[in-house]
């Protein structure tokens, strides 16, 4: 009977200790600068030939983002 009491007290102590522990801090989304820096670090460790490395580095540093609607046709062709 004494073992059951000790076991019950131990279980209760573990449960209470779990409730008291601090919650994990909330994670924030990465900024564009952090993502770019990480991409450059991974690229520098990739071991690519210089020409390929430079192409990818320039693409990371100066991304070509199309303007909104620029790639759309001016007039939608009609099916007849």
Distance CA 15, CA 19 (A): 6
Distance CA 2, CA 60 (A): 67
72 vs 5 pLDDT, higher one? 5
Residue 59 lies in a domain: yes
The domain tally of the chain equals 1
Residue 56 lies in a domain: yes
Closest CA relative to residue 61, chosen from 79, 35, 80: 35
Residue 22 lies in a domain: no
Residue 78 lies in a domain: no
Residue 51 lies in a domain: yes
Residue 2 lies in a domain: no
Per-residue pLDDT reduced to its tens digit, 20-60: 667 778 888 999 999 999 999 999 999 999 999 999 999 99
Residue 72 lies in a domain: no
29 vs 5 pLDDT, higher one? 29
Domain around 37: 31-64
Residue 52: CA count within 13 A, CB half-sphere:
6
With cut-offs at 50, 70 and 90, classify the pLDDT of residue 69.
Answer: low
* Contacts of 60 by beta carbon, 8 Å cutoff, 6+ apart: 36, 39, 40, 43
34 vs 76 pLDDT, higher one? 34
């Amino acid at each position: 009977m004494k073992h059951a009491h000790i076991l019950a007290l131990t279980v209760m102590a573990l449960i209470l200790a779990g409730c008291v522990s601090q919650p994990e801090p909330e994670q924030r989304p990465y900024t564009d600068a952090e993502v770019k820096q990480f991409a450059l670090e991974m690229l520098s460790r990739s071991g690519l030939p210089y020409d390929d490395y430079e192409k990818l580095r320039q693409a990371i540093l100066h991304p070509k983002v199309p303007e909104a609607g620029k790639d759309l046709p001016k007039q939608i062709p009609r099916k007849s």
